[in-house]
Structure 1
Amino acid sequence: MGICRLGFLVGFLWFMAMDCMAQSNTHHYNFVLQQAQFTRLCETKTMLTVNGSFPGPTIHARRGDTIYVNVHNEGEYGVTIHWHGVKQPRNPWSDGPENITQCPIQPGKNFTYEVILSNEEGTLWWHAHSDWSRATVHGAIVIAPALGTTYPFPAPDAEETIILGRQRVPS
């Protein structure tokens, strides 16, 4: 291979790498876990919420994006967050080949998760991985196709995220 062809190949590969990196975005979220009074079906209970809501916030991103979620635990017990359906070799507490459990975020402490979306598309979910807190600490991850691509079906007229769960917390 001549020097000109090699230079062209290196330049082309660099251009393609820059093009791919330009299409992915970084998103930052803050989750504050705290006890709150919440009423459902005429019954009020104290439960762990995320940013005061139940279910917690929906994360929106695109295929190939990176998400940073800084979790502040103001609850009474240690908690971890699991990014369900996200394959992450660098984050072994997610659904990857080395799925192990991370140490819980202790009360009064925080931890920042790096969630790398590689080939995921569609709606996934995140949830607590700690005893009863998984009943109230959860939310959706809506992953759109990468920029310049579409889902493999016609675009819907509208979208609505529905999370099914049940409020089961200790009395």
Structure 2
Amino acid sequence: MNSKYTLLLEIIVGIMLLAGQFFCMVEGDVHYYDFVLKEKNFTRLCSTKSMLVVNGSFPGPVIRVHKGDTVFVNVHNQGYYGVTIHWHGVKQPRNPWSDGPEYITQCPIQPGTNFTYEVIFSEEEGTVWWHAHSDWTQASIHGAIVVLPSIGSAYLFPKPDGEEVVVLASWYKGNLKELVDESMQDGSDPPHTVHDDTINGGSQEIFVLAPETRHIVGRLIMAKPIFFE
């Protein structure tokens, strides 16, 4: 081989090796979560209904990471219909198959099966969220994602003494998916009546702060399905 091309090849290989070492150095931590989707009874406004929720809670669990981290979320669907999960506000560069829109980047996760998402927090920092991306199942399947600054980086403001995650959602007395399915069959409008608003799953939330508290980060998520019509 011509010595000139040999030298060029060696330079290219050297650059690739250095780049690989650099990315290894800046690579963040890897986290693993299990999301179990299952029906559970909830009582509110003097009536009880069954809802599909994650890990038995409404809203679902909070994911906590640092900028640059990667999260693997294994979603086990123990419900009665297919569901996907979308990572709202996460860019997912070169990773569209884990983005979650139903019938766009993947088929729904069928009942009795599971699917593992790879969520890459490449540039995000602050508060984003995850939610179901299948019909109106988002009403009960959602939660916050807290993305802290990368390790070794400082906040853009005084380091907070604490934080509060606040998830605002809507409460419907009936099964929202069934109501929407019925409206699709008879051609009527989908339900617009919200019977209650929720704060972290309840009708109200009390936040108690220590007297010495000076800086609090409030992480607010608007998870109302009607908001996304």
Select 1:163's aligned residue among 160, 167, 170.
167
Whichever of the two has the greater Rg, that structure is 2
Contact 1:91 1:114 in 2 (8 A): no
Greater share of residues in helix: 2
* Alignment CA distance shift 1:91-1:43 (3 Å): same
If asked which structure has higher relative contact order (CA below 8 Å, sep 6+), I would say 1
Cα distance between partner residues in 2 of 1:91 and 1:104: 15
Select 1:91's aligned residue among 82, 96, 114.
96
Please list the CA deviations of residues 55-110 of structure 1 after superposition, one character each: whole Å capped at 9, or x if unmatched.
00000001000000000000011000000000013124539xxxx34210000000
Please list the CA deviations of residues 40-64 of structure 1 after superposition, one character each: whole Å capped at 9, or x if unmatched.
3443210001011010000000100
Structure 2's unaligned 5+ residue stretches are 1-10, 177-229
Cα distance between partner residues in 2 of 1:20 and 1:37: 44
Residue 110 of structure 2 corresponds to 106
Cα distance between partner residues in 2 of 1:14 and 1:137: 38
Structure 1's unaligned 5+ residue stretches are 1-5
AA at the equivalent of 2:127:
T
Cα distance between partner residues in 1 of 2:24 and 2:114: 33
Deviation of the 1:19 alpha carbon = 2.5
Percent of aligned pairs with the same amino acid: 56
Please list the CA deviations of residues 109-129 of structure 1 after superposition, one character each: whole Å capped at 9, or x if unmatched.
000000000000011000001
Q: What CA RMSD, in Å, does the superposition of the two structures yield over aligned residues?
A: 2.3
Cα distance between partner residues in 2 of 1:70 and 1:63: 21
TM-score normalized with structure 2 length: 0.63
Residue 51 of structure 1 corresponds to 55
Please list the CA deviations of residues 21-40 of structure 1 after superposition, one character each: whole Å capped at 9, or x if unmatched.
3xx10000000000000123
* Alignment CA distance shift 1:109-1:153 (3 Å): same
Trace 1:3-82 onto structure 2 (pairs within 5 A): 16-21=22-27, 24-82=28-86
TM-score normalized with structure 1 length: 0.83
Cα distance between partner residues in 2 of 1:54 and 1:14: 42
- SS of 2:34's partner is strand
Contact 2:62 2:145 in 1 (8 A): yes
Residue 125 of structure 2 corresponds to 121
Contact 2:144 2:167 in 1 (8 A): yes
Contact 2:83 2:132 in 1 (8 A): yes
Instruction: State the number of aligned residues.
Output: 159
Please list the CA deviations of residues 110-162 of structure 1 after superposition, one character each: whole Å capped at 9, or x if unmatched.
00000000000011000001112110000001000100002211122210101
Residue 199 of structure 2 corresponds to none
